A = this chain, B = another copy of it.
Amino acid sequence: MSNNQFRRGELYSVINGMASTAVARKLQKNFRQAGLEITIEQWSVLYHLWKEDCLSQQELCNRTFRDKPSITRLIDNLEKQKLVKRTASQTDRRINLVCLTDAAKELQSQTIDLANHTMNEALVGVTKDEIETVKQVFQRVYDNLT
């Protein structure tokens, strides 16, 4: 095992365990402290609907990098909380369009402020160039594997 290979194996451990879960945990904690009952996974679905409402479940799979059963259940839970509503597509009856409720629209600015605040705290001392590098590396890794 070369030294280079070993360092690459280490990276996996770093990527998987450390930063992403630290950010997720912090954001979840900030939601809870603000009295918001949503999970970060649910939030990440809402995030994409705020950008474009009434997406199909398949489109939400693509945009959130989740599989279909995961989205089915996230939408189930979001529907229970009355944050989204499934509507059958007029043109293709296989498709559920997932649309935001008024309650979900009210969450938008508050939660996005919390997310930005969390990311600002997370990225203290990190430069724009470094952020750009991380994004490019991650896109590359994703493309390499899919």
Classify chain A's interface size: 35 or more
Is A101 an interface residue when CB atoms closer than 8 A count as contact? Answer: no
Chain A contact residues: over half helix, strand or loop, or mixed? Answer: helix
Is A112 an interface residue when CB atoms closer than 8 A count as contact? Answer: yes
Assess whether A65 is in contact with B21, with CB atoms less than 8 Å apart: yes
Assess whether A122 is in contact with B144, with CB atoms less than 8 Å apart: yes
Contact with B along A127-146 (1 / 0, CB 8 A): 01011011111111110111
Write out the residue numbers on chain B whose beta carbons fall within 8 Å of the beta carbon of A25. 145
In the docked arrangement, what's the CA distance between A65 and B139, Å?
24
Is A55 an interface residue when CB atoms closer than 8 A count as contact? Answer: no
Assess whether A140 is in contact with B119, with CB atoms less than 8 Å apart: no
Is A115 an interface residue when CB atoms closer than 8 A count as contact? Answer: yes
* Listed A/B pairs (22) with beta-carbon separation below 8 Å: A1-B113, A8-B120, A10-B135, A11-B123, A11-B135, A12-B23, A12-B118, A12-B119, A14-B135, A14-B138, A15-B20, A15-B138, A17-B44, A18-B138, A19-B139, A22-B141, A22-B146, A25-B145, A121-B145, A123-B141, A123-B144, A124-B140
